[in-house]
């Protein structure tokens, strides 16, 4: 039995414009020590899917499908039971370290309360353990700084504090929602290598949400590519990177700036992210895809195994071969 098993996860929001289907049909399974990357643009539903798993959706949001942790469905659990798992067996870190820590409480208070609540530790023991973890994430002078307030830490250090706080109870799963987006590049690299080390040392399974393909390449075993709330392509990281077979994935990879080529042009995907309240009946990417035809706009492509590579799932009416050919044609005409 996989540690995390997500089946047909969907998220809907009750809005003034009607019911918005932010996420549809997400499936994946994760074992100990594995990393899954969920990639997509803003508004693709990547954050909402993990927020749904953690029971952190907004008031007007509703999750459908199943999110099993150790066989139990997180989506239908009673709140008290979910609270025993959150922060304890499944932990989450968020995108913006500046606002994700309570500015009115000391770091010590925010960390020890996790241990006190989940492990029944007393204040002293909790403090000692917290300092240990702050050391592990390389916060200098941790024993003294733990008594200070979050605003006295820099952005990168705050994110490390968040990571340390999430690992206090040695969770089996860590969900990281764009952990490096708000940080500068050098800090990014440090945080990612930290996550890698922690995974190696603790065997944590990581679900990493990001829009940055570089991040994915460095850390993930499996990748799910989302667009308009639906899975476009899904497979192992090497398959997705070296053998991308969906027009959107191809576009994403093509949009990464290359510093090692003199004549490299930035090839943007034309158009803008979709209005989730008014999606086309068919493939959500059809409006921006240059392989799209009327059939694509009308009929939703089904997510199925690729004919080209084993273990890859793709949702496209065009075959993988057609996508590859079109890509080559574009490259040579650019």
Partner 1 sequence: MLLNNRRDSLVRSLGDTLDTVVAGRSPWADARARFFRNKAAVVSLCLLAIIVLVCLVGPYMLPHAFDSADWDAMSLPPTLKNAHFFGTDESGRDLLVRSLIGGRVSLMVGMLATLSSVALGIAWGATAGFIGGRVDTFMMRVVDMMYAVPYLLIAILMVTILGRAFYLVVITITVFSWMDMARVVRGQTLSLRSKEFIEAARAMGVPTRRIIFQHIVPNLLGVVVVYTTVTVPGVILTESVLSFLGLGIQEPMTSWGVLIHDGTTVMEISPWMLLFPAAFLSITLYCFNYIGDGLRDALDPKDR
Partner 2 sequence: MWSFAFRRALATIPTLLAVITVCYLLLHATPGGPFDEERKVSAAVLANLQAKYHLDQPLWKQYLYYLNNLAHGDLGASFRYEDWSVNELVAKALPVSAAIGGGSILIALFIGVLLGTIAALRQNSAVDYVVMLFGNLGHAFPSFVIGPVLILVFAIWLKLVPSGGWNNFEPRYMILPMALLIFINVATIGRVMRGSLIEVLHSNFIRTARAKGLPTHTIILRHALKPALLPVVSLIGPLAISSITSAVVTESVFSLPGLGKLIVNGAGNRDYTLVLGLVVLVTVIAVSFNLLVDLAYAALDPKIRY
Residue with tokens 């952005």: 155
- DSSP E strands in the chain: the ranges are 4-15, 18-30, 35-39, 61-69, 72-73, 90-93, 173-177, 205-210, 222-227, 230-236, 304-305, 313-314
CB of 268 to partner 1, least distance (A): 7
Would you count residue 85 as binding partner 2 (CB under 8 A)?
A: yes
Judged by CB under 8 A, which of 41, 135, 212, 330 binds partner 1? 330
Q: Considering only residues 147, 203, 271, 311, which one is a binding residue for partner 1 as defined by CB under 8 A? A: 271
Query: Segment near partner 1 (CB under 8 A), from 63-71, 99-107, 227-235, 262-270?
Result: 262-270
In this structure, are residues 112 and 127 in contact, taking their beta carbons and an 8 Å threshold?
A: yes
Verify binding: residue 333, partner 1, rule CB under 8 A: yes
- Asked whether 247 and 288 are in contact (CB, 8 A), the reply is no
Is residue 17 a contact residue for partner 1 (CB under 8 A)? Answer: no
The secondary structure of residue 286, as a DSSP letter, is G
Question: Residues near 304 by Cβ (< 8 Å), separated by ≥ 6?
Answer: 313, 314, 315
Q: Site residues for partner 2, window 118-177 (CB under 8 A)?
A: 118, 149, 151, 162, 165
Choosing from 148, 238, 265, 275, the residue that interacts with partner 1 (CB under 8 A) is 265
**Span 45-64, contacts to partner 2 by CB under 8 A:** 54-56
Least separation in angstroms between residue 270's CB and partner 1 is 5
Q: How many residues bind partner 1 (CB under 8 A)?
A: 9
Residue 189 contacts residue 213 (beta carbons within 8 Å): no
Minimum distance of partner 2 from residue 77's CB (angstroms)? 12
Cβ atoms 40, 46 nearer than 8 A: yes
* Closer to partner 1 by Cβ: residue 85 or 323: 323
**How many CA atoms, within 13 angstroms, populate the side-chain half-sphere of residue 284?**
26
Residues forming the site for partner 1 (CB under 8 A): 265, 267-268, 270-271, 290, 330, 333-334
């Amino acid at each position: 039995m996989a540690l995390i098993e997500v089946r047909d996860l969907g998220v809907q929001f009750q809005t003034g414009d009607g019911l918005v289907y932010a996420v549809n049909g997400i499936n994946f399974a994760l074992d100990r020590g594995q990393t899954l990357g969920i990639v997509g643009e803003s508004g693709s539903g990547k954050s909402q899917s993990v927020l749904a798993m953690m029971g952190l959706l907004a008031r007007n949001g509703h999750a459908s499908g199943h999110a099993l942790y150790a066989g139990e469905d997180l989506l239908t659990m009673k709140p008290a039971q979910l609270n025993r798992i959150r922060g304890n067996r499944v932990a989450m870190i968020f995108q913006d370290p500046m606002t994700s820590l309570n500015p009115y409480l000391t770091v010590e208070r925010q960390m020890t309360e996790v241990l006190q609540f989940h492990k029944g530790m007393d204040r002293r023991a909790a403090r000692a353990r917290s300092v240990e973890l702050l050391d592990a994430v390389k916060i200098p002078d941790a024993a003294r700084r733990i008594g200070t307030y979050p605003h006295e830490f820099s952005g990168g250090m705050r994110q490390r504090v968040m990571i340390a706080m999430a690992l206090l109870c040695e969770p089996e799963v860590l969900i990281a929602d764009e952990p490096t987006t708000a940080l500068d590049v050098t800090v990014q690299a440090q945080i990612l290598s930290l996550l890698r080390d922690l995974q190696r040392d603790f065997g944590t399974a990581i679900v990493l949400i990001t829009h940055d393909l570089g991040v994915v390449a460095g850390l993930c075993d499996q990748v799910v590519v989302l667009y308009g709330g639906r899975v476009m392509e899904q497979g192992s990281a090497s398959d997705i990177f070296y053998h991308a077979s969906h027009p959107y994935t191809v576009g994403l990879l093509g949009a990464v700036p290359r510093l090692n080529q003199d004549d490299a042009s930035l090839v943007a995907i034309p158009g803008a992210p979709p209005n989730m309240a008014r999606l086309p009946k068919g493939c959500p990417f059809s409006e921006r895809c240059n392989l799209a035809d009327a059939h694509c706009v009308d009929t939703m492509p089904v997510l199925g195994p690729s004919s080209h590579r084993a273990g890859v799932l793709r949702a496209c009416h065009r075959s993988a071969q057609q996508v590859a050919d079109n890509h080559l044609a574009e490259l040579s005409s650019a």
